[in-house]
């Protein structure tokens, strides 16, 4: 519903369309309330079980970036030794048997990813595995809703790259600018790069759009400027990924956990600022939100160039009324503005959002100068932070464990 409204330009017609959706939105909100009550009742009868819907809490890069450097094994140099051992010998790449091989140089069955997808059988058992050999693939790819349980792996996130340049300035809605769109449930990407090269002046330009439920992205690179990663909806898990961008470069309304990822701030236009996240929860009963755990924020060299005008950098802003973002056990540098967050528009969502931090480190982790919004909880207790671990927030063991993905279900410390 919100995506549909976003497709219309600002103006009287958009306002009328938005008004026409109000009844539907109210119906959805009422349905969520009913499901929430039913879930609570069942929980009381059966004890602890998966919480389908949750109410609001009471207490509420550039090439020079060292995090993009690859070791000889094709795994980023910054990946911890434990994860490296798993990636090299625990069921990835060398132990994957591809159904098809895509190779731009002609050494595979197909030269493009789209050719491989077009040849997929309508029915198959288990996971359908596509190996994308090293190369830059200039094509727009969609893993459709009918393509469930697809695994796509490459030779490394800076070696197997899908690239495009569609953008808002050239007349497309944000949703339609994506270079790569994952819709089919259970999608998994390993060692792949997703890129949108439109640049800061072209405004919204999505590199990766994800609508896949129970999707996993491991050791991937999402490279762009504004709106790089559209974590649109459903449950998503990101591990050891690098995401680069400027304005709202991780946005959407998914229930997404980013674990051990690097968010690299790039240089926007001189009259702009950087905002890492823009979560879009539209109803307080939605079990969605962004959790950044043991992540690192850094900057490409151009952003900190003393010869260029200074740029202000923020952790996030509320795209929708009940925006929810929790940053925990992460490294926040001094380049992040002391306020931490910036408003979307005036007082919008400042009372209804849920922003919180827990056990962060670094010169930018001091919350003394943070915003004084009613919805910002500053540093929450460990008990409250526990609600946002992978285990509790995504209930992900049944679908992450079978993939062999390195994951920390609780806290790192």
C-beta contacts of 127-132 below 8 A and 24+ residues apart:
127/151, 127/186, 127/188, 128/99, 129/96, 129/97, 129/98, 129/99, 129/153, 130/98, 130/99, 130/100, 130/101, 130/102, 131/96, 131/98, 131/100, 131/101, 131/102, 132/102, 132/160, 132/192
Q: Angle at CA 139, nearest 5°, toward 148 and 202?
A: 110
DSSP state of 131: E
Query: Where on the phi/psi map is residue 378: left (φ > 0), alpha (ψ -120 to 50), or beta?
Result: left
What is the distance between the alpha carbons of residues 230 and 33, in angstroms, rounded to a whole number?
A: 27
Q: What is the DSSP string of 224-283?
A: -STT-EEE-SSEEEEES-EEEESEEEEEES-EEEEES-EEEE----TT--EEEEEE---S
Q: Which helix (DSSP H) or strand (DSSP E) does residue 163 occupy?
A: strand 160-164
| CB contact at 8 A, 349 and 375 | yes
| 248 tagged catalytic | yes
- The single residue of 83, 185, 213, 248 carrying the catalytic annotation is 248
What is the distance between the alpha carbons of residues 290 and 254, in angstroms, rounded to a whole number?
A: 7
What is the distance between the alpha carbons of residues 7 and 172, in angstroms, rounded to a whole number?
A: 9
| CB contact at 8 A, 116 and 153 | no
Q: Which residue numbers are catalytic? A: 248
């Amino acid at each position: 519903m919100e995506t549909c409204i976003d497709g219309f330009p600002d103006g009287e017609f958009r306002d009328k369309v938005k008004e026409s959706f109000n009844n539907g939105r109210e119906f959805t909100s009422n349905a969520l309330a009913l499901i929430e009550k039913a879930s609570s009742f069942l929980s009381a009868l059966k004890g602890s079980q998966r919480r389908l819907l949750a109410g609001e809490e009471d207490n509420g890069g550039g090439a020079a970036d060292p995090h993009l450097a690859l070791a000889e094994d094709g795994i980023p140099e910054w990946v911890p030794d434990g994860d490296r051992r798993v990636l090299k010998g625990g069921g990835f790449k060398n132990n994957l048997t591809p159904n098809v091989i895509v190779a731009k140089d002609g050494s595979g069955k197909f030269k493009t990813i789209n050719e491989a997808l077009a040849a997929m059988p309508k029915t198959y058992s288990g996971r359908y595995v596509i190996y994308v050999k090293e190369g830059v693939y200039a094509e727009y790819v969609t893993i459709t809703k009918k393509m469930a349980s697809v695994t796509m792996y490459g030779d490394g996130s800076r070696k197997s790259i899908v690239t495009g340049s569609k953008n808002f300035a050239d007349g497309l809605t944000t949703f339609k600018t994506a270079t790569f769109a994952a819709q089919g449930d259970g999608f998994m990407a390993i060692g792949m790069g997703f890129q949108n090269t439109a640049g800061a002046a072209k405004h919204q330009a999505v590199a990766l759009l994800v609508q896949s439920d129970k999707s996993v992205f491991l050791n991937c690179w999402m490279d762009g400027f504004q709106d790089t990663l559209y974590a649109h909806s459903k449950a998503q898990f990101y591990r050891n990924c690098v995401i680069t961008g400027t304005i709202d470069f991780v946005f959407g309304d998914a229930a997404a956990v980013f674990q051990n990822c690097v968010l690299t701030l790039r240089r926007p236009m001189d009259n702009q600022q950087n905002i890492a996240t823009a979560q879009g929860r539209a109803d307080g009963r939605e079990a969605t939100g962004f959790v950044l755990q043991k992540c690192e924020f850094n900057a490409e060299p151009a952003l900190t160039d003393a010869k260029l005008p200074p740029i202000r950098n923020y952790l996030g802003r509320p795209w929708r009324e009940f925006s929810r973002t929790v940053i925990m056990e992460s490294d926040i540098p001094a380049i992040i503005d002391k306020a931490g967050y910036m408003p979307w528009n005036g007082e919008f969502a400042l009372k209804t959002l849920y922003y919180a931090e827990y056990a962060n480190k670094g010169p930018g982790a001091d919350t003394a100068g943070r915003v004084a919004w009613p919805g910002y909880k500053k540093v929450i207790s460990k008990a409250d932070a526990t609600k946002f671990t992978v285990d509790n927030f995504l209930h992900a063991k049944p679908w992450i464990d079978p993939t062999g993905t390195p994951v920390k279900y609780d806290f790192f410390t």
